[in-house]
Amino acid sequence: MDLLEAIRRRKTTNGAFLPDPVSEEHQRILMEVAGRAPSQLNSQPWRFVIVEDRSTIERVADISGSSMTEAMSNGTFFERYKPYFRFSAAEMERRRDGMLFDKLPAPLRPFTSQAFTKRGQTLMNALGVPKTLGSENRNLVAGSPLLLGVMLDRSEYRPGELSSFYSLFSMGAAMENVWLTTTELGMGIQFVSFPMEVPGKWDLIVDLLKVPDELELMAVYRLGYLPPEQRRPAIDWSSHQRKLPSQYVYRETCETPQAGWDD
């Protein structure tokens, strides 16, 4: 697979992985490509913790699932991210960004227009949607053969200072290298993000992974090999659309959108 093909095929895995452990060879490759990312003054501010211990993965899964249920039940998740939710193909085609909820249980489909109202939240809670989502999330994380914690050296990551921007930029480049390489290796990857949505939950993972004070835990990902046919969760979304070049590229100045590339 060449680089352009890997970039075009890159995606987030919403479904389950195979139970097979990630080979040590592939683990080493993923860490090598992460370490080859650019960084300001070759500072290499990233640190990684690879987790295969089942008890640790199960505990992270518990934290993630309960976080999702709580964030969905109290409405904070929908309120925070509602600008990115799409419930029709027409809206997705027009906006060309965000997430299209194209797989929903039948009882929910008539109520998508009320998803962000108090009545809609009450209805979703009554139908057990937050519990369903939390359970699905827990099972996905628990079924992952490998978790990857991504940390930054606090001597480089100093919020409010220019070095903080450089370190975050470098971390993003390192993780993009990892993400593209999973595509090459027949693997999938997904951000375990919900513990960051609920106060106090992320600290539980920091303690679980024994992250030292000199490092900041920035993200946790789940990784594994992809099955030949991927089963979609009960509630799922797609995000295949991308903005047209004329919507995000300008020529010479920001007053002139790029023309002629949308085809």
> Could you report the per-residue pLDDT of 48-82, keeping only the tens digit for each?
999 999 999 999 999 999 999 999 888 888 888 88
The mean-pLDDT minimum among 10-24, 109-123, 156-170, 199-213 falls in: 109-123
Q: What is the pLDDT of residues 171-229, one digit of tens each?
A: 999 999 999 999 999 999 999 999 999 999 999 999 999 999 999 999 999 999 999 88
Give how far Cα 73 sits from Cα of 134, 138, 191, 198, Å. Answer: 10, 16, 21, 11
pLDDT at residue 107 above 80? Answer: no
Give the number of other Cβ atoms within 10 Å of residue 193's Cβ: 16
Give how far Cα 164 sits from Cα of 39, 158, 178, Å. Answer: 12, 5, 21
What structural domains and CATH numbers belong to the chain?
A: 3-247 (3.40.109.10)
**Chain Cα centroid distance, residue 148:** 12
pLDDT at 132: 85
Cα(11)–Cα(8) distance, rounded to whole angstroms? 9
Q: Is the pTM of this model over 0.85?
A: yes
Helices 24-35 and 162-184: angle between axes, nearest 10 degrees: 140
Q: Which two tokens stand for residue 200?
A: 């106090």
pLDDT at 78: 80
Computed from CA positions of residues 101, 106, 112, 114, in that sequence, does the dihedral angle turn out positive or negative?
Answer: negative
- CA nearest neighbour of 209 among 151, 170, 152: 151
pLDDT at 197: 95
3-state DSSP of the chain: CCHHHHHHHCCCCCCCCCCCCCCHHHHHHHHHHHHCCCCHHHCCCEEEEEECCHHHHHHHHHHHHHHHHHHHHCCHHHHHHHHHEECCHHHHHHHCCCEEEEECCHHHHHHHHHCCCHHHHHHHHHCCHHHHHHHHHHHHHHCCCEEEEEEEECCCCCCCCHHHHHHHHHHHHHHHHHHHHHHHCCEEEEECCHHHCCCCHHHHHHHHCCCCCCEEEEEEEEEEECCCCCCCCCCEEECCCCCCHHHHCECCCCCCECCCCCC
Q: Which two tokens stand for residue 148?
A: 């990857």
Phi/psi of residue 215, nearest 5 degrees: -120, 150
> How big is the chain by its Cα radius of gyration, in Å?
20
- What is the overall mean pLDDT for the chain? 91
pLDDT at 184: 94
Q: Which two tokens stand for residue 198?
A: 């609920």
Give the number of other Cβ atoms within 10 Å of residue 45's Cβ: 24
